[in-house]
Structure 1
């Protein structure tokens, strides 16, 4: 039985180097119940008659596999995964060292705060995206701005309630089965030219109708009925 230093863990086996014989290295299996090896641990190893090398004891653990706070919250290391648990044992956060995936879960409120800076969410590879999935999402801000090369909104129903609506665009194209405008006050259109194309019937209904032209007024039809 000799003392060895843990160099790393690969596929359930431990890479070791002898302490007194630094030129000697082994790949060993763990024979200590509950032991999770960490790089830097000093362990005892023994070779079986079959030639297989086993870790049979721990002389010194470089890092504890679990840290427990006085409140009962704890952090654990399980293979490549670092996990953080609250005092009730619920998983709060986990980091998978193999995939780089980080998960954060809160049993109560989850708050992100940067009083002196900004909160930035980014996904840095081509084709990646940030997804928010929830039955209801509320955004409250004194001022909000969205800047994007393209913006698409898919919704079964969209409601807008604003004090003033101002739209600026190079071109506005609307396509719909039916469009209804209900204006209590004034509806005014200002344009360099105005053209309305109707494939069937055009109806203008009003209590009074006034058409004023600075020059010509032309009415052209197969029949013109007045009165």
Structure 2
């Protein structure tokens, strides 16, 4: 990327016409850098605006041009002093009626496609095998109206967007990662109309806060472990079914507004200190014997 440059006023010498050497051309923006003077004297570089009939399409680095300074203190490229320049770098130029052009460069080792405004649209380097598609402005669309589209990359894909990134399908969307044999260590997410399925050997979810709202939920597993500083359960009805339940707490406080009923085959309560019952009335009924045993028994 070419950054902001100094004004020619910094040279301390006012001028109207001067020879210059094109130092660089930004393929993305089309900005032209020129070095004033010629030969070894062309050391300082400035930004210049092409003012030629063909715009900047006939310019390339290493070419000698004539620049003029306008009343607005902007440099304009008004002529070409060396029409050949480093022409050997461009083997062939194909021009389109719209003004776009295609350059075969580097002894047929590369291809560059420029838009009608001079911006680089496509670049191919045969030596490295690298292709680059670039749009300085506007939109890009890939379409296969009567077929499918496949993208292959041996070293991965990377998508970067400055705005929203959307994936949509009328039938389904599938994301999967698997091991070398495609059967072990497989993780997948599948989206179908009205259905979402996720599968993996391990799932980790981390967030500062979250909400899970479901009309009906079912959790199944061989082992569940919940750890939290505070837990609150609120329900109109709660039912617990288990073969065996073990509870260990420091203190238990229960408040029942209505009936508290326990149905069991046997009930055994073991208290290390004292056992207190307080009630307005106590009714104890046994179909057989009632035994009360203690060192002392006080009645009344």
Bin of the TM-score, shorter chain as denominator length: 0.5 to 0.7
Q: Deviations over 1:98-154 (max 9, x none)?
A: x99xxxxxxxxxxx95324x3222224xxxx21111111211111101111100000
Match of 2:258 among 185, 199, 205: 185
TM (normalized to structure 1)? 0.55
| Correspondences of 1:51-200 after superposition (within 5 Å) | 58-59=125-126, 64-66=131-133, 70=138, 80-88=155-163, 114-116=192-194, 118-124=195-201, 129-200=202-273
Quick check: 1:83–1:91 contact (8 Å CA) kept in 2?
Answer: no
* Secondary structure of 2:220 counterpart: coil
Query: For the residues of structure 2 that align with 1:92 and 1:115, how far apart are their CA atoms?
Result: 16
Alignment partners' CA distance in 2, 1:218 and 1:70: 94
- Contact residue 125 and residue 131 of structure 2 kept, 8 A: no
> 1:225 and 1:137, CA in 2 relative to 1: closer, same or farther beyond 3 A?
same
Judge conservation of contact 2:109–2:126 (CA < 8 Å) in 1. yes
Show the counterpart of 1:207: 280
Aligned 1:36-47 pairs, distance under 5 A: 44=109
2: CA distance, partners of 1:170 / 1:163? 24
Q: Shift in Å at residue 167 of structure 1?
A: 0.5
Change in CA separation of 1:65 and 1:190 when aligned onto 2, cut-off 3 Å:
farther
Q: State the distance in 2 between where 1:134 and 1:218 align.
A: 58
The verdict on how the C-alpha distance between 1:65 and 1:225 changes in structure 2, with shifts beyond 3 A counting, is farther
Unaligned runs of 5+ in 2: 1-107, 111-123, 142-151, 168-176, 181-189
Query: How far apart in 2 are the matches of 1:92 and 1:220?
Result: 77
Q: 1:180 to 1:114 in 2, by over 3 A?
A: same
Distance 1:70 1:87, change over 3 A: farther
- Residues 79, 201 of structure 1: alpha-carbon distance in 2 compared, 3 angstrom cutoff: same
Query: Contact 1:72/1:87 (CA < 8 Å) preserved in 2?
Result: no
Q: Indicate the residue corresponding to 2:78 in structure 1.
A: none
Supply the RMSD in Å over aligned alpha carbons. Answer: 4.0
TM-score relative to the length of structure 2? 0.43
SS of 1:205's partner is: coil
